[in-house]
Amino acid sequence: MTLPRFDVLVPETVEQACSLLAEHGGGARVLAGGTDLLVDLKRPIVQERLIEAGGGDPGRFTTLGDGEPGAIDPWGSGDPPPDVLISLHKLAGLKRIEVLDDGRLRVGALATAREIQRVPEIRDRWTALAEGADSLGSPLVRARGTIGGNICNARPAADITVPAICLGAQLELQSPDGSRTLPGEQFILAPGVTVIEPAEILTAVTFPALSARTGSAYYKLGQRKALEISVVGVAVYVELAGDDTVQAACVTLGAVGPTPLAARSAAEVLAGGKPTGELLARAARAAAADATPIDDHRGTAEYRRLMVEMLTRRTLELAVERAGGRS
């Protein structure tokens, strides 16, 4: 793996960052912790730069030098490497994590997984978010990787993104034209693809205030206990009413579809019901039916679907307990 050459620009304000982005157009990428971006930019040593050779001999292939037209590179990302990276590391304001007066949680886009892990209010109330941060990478990666990077990188298995969407994240985006706020679940379109505009930056993620009787949980399934890309991730959120019935619920699934996936029929099963073991099991089956997993070298679709059921039931039990109810 080799890194291409690029320049790094270091703006001092969000406005500067946005205008630099606008100035460089498609040739620029935003750099936060770099734990996704720099890995993506590395070029594999063995690339298949083959074309079918001309001269009417279809069985022949030629490797191509860089820059020659017609090269296909199925192992590479397909995108041309950027000329500049725009580093956000001087934008201290984007690191802030605070519980607002109205009870909402606001997490700056540059807050790292480790910083999220260490906020007691998050662990107490937005528990699934803390558990997502706990499960990310290793101590080294958690010290660098940010919530903004995790969301903007738009991977279906992203361990902060899945619980964030489940907890109703609203994304604050800023561009030279102003700012806008978007629900988290509308942000990601496909693996690696978001609705973000070329000159737009994610500045913060806010979460709705929570009543006392809410609970949430995140479970990541992999082959080992750290440094793992989820085979399945399940985030759940449950709010109980005074009579112990489910007032609101959300189940969000990771790694079983092209984007983090809302298991809507599971939420429907739960709504208004008493959170008995039987109800949670039914919701879990509904979640498994909502999932759209594929086979890949990390696991088969069949196993993933089964695991969605197991883990949805378990996380629901935990969340109900945390909400002060009993399943």
Partner 1 sequence: MSNDYRILNTRAPRVDAVDKATGRAQYTDDLSRPNMLYGAILHSPLAHARILDIDTSRAERLPGVVAVVTWRDAGTEPYGVSPARYDETIFCHDRVRYVGDEIAAVAATDPDTAHEAVRRIKVDFEPLPLVLDGRHAMDDGQPQLHEQYENNICAQVHWRFGDVEQGRREASVIRTDTISSKMQDAAFMEPQAVLAEVDAQRNLTMFSSTQAPHYVQRTLAMALNHPLHKVRVVKPAMGGGFGPKASCSTAELATCLLALKTGRPVKFTFDREQVFLHSRARHQFLHTMTTGVRDDGTLAFLEHECILDGGAYASFGIATVYYAGSLLGGPYRLKNMNYDGYRVVTNKPACGAQRGHGAVIARALFEIQLDRIAEELEMDPIELRLKNVMDAGETTCNELFVSSFGMREALEAVRDSAAWKKKRALAGQTRAEGKGIGAACGFFVSGAAYPIYRSKTYHCTVVTKVDEVGGGVVVQSGAADIGQGSDTMLAMITAEELGVSLDDVRVQAGDSSLSVDLGSYSSRTTLMTGAAARDAARDVKRRILSAVAGRIDVPPETLDLKDGCVISLADPIDFSALRDEYLKEHVGFSDLPDSPKLSFREASRIAFLEIGAVVGTGEYRPPKLGGSFKGAAVGTSPAFGCSAQVAEVSVDLETGEVTVDRITGAHDCGFAINRTQVEGQMHGSMMMGMGEALMEQVIYDEHGRILNRNLAEYKIPTSLDMPQLDALIVESNEPHGPYGAKEVGEGAIMPVIPSILNAIHDATGVRINELPVTPERIVRALRRKSVCAK
Ligand X SMILES: Cc1cc2nc3c(=O)[nH]c(=O)nc-3n(C[C@H](O)[C@H](O)[C@H](O)COP(=O)(O)OP(=O)(O)OC[C@H]3O[C@@H](n4cnc5c(N)ncnc54)[C@H](O)[C@@H]3O)c2cc1C
Name which of 201 and 280 has its Cβ closer to ligand X: 201
Binding partner of residue 148 among ligand X, partner 1, none, CB cut-off 5 to 8 Å per kind: ligand X
For residues 108 and 97, give the distance between their C-alpha atoms in angstroms, rounded to a whole number: 6
One of 23, 40, 48, 98 touching partner 1 (CB under 8 A): 48
| Nearest one of 291, 241, 242 to 271, comparing CA atoms | 241
One of 14, 109, 129, 256 touching ligand X (CB under 6 A): 109
Contact yes or no for 274/294 (Cβ under 8 A): no
Residue 166 CA from chain centroid, whole number: 11
DSSP 199: T
The residues near 87 (Cβ < 8 Å, ≥ 6 apart) are 8, 9, 10, 11, 31
229 binds partner 1 (CB under 8 A): yes
Binding mask 59-98 for ligand X (x = CB under 6 A): -----------------------------x----------
Counting residues that bind ligand X (by CB under 6 A) gives: 29
Counting residues that bind partner 1 (by CB under 8 A) gives: 39
Residue nearest to ligand X (CB): 149
Provide the H-helix boundaries in the chain.
14-24, 37-41, 113-117, 120-125, 127-134, 139-144, 147-152, 161-166, 264-270, 277-290, 301-322
One of 97, 115, 131, 150 touching ligand X (CB under 6 A): 150
For residue 171 the two structure tokens come to: 């994304």
78 binds partner 1 (CB under 8 A): no
193 binds ligand X (CB under 6 A): no
Residues engaged in binding ligand X (CB under 6 A): 29-37, 39, 88, 109, 136-137, 141, 144-146, 148-150, 152-153, 158-159, 201-202, 227-228
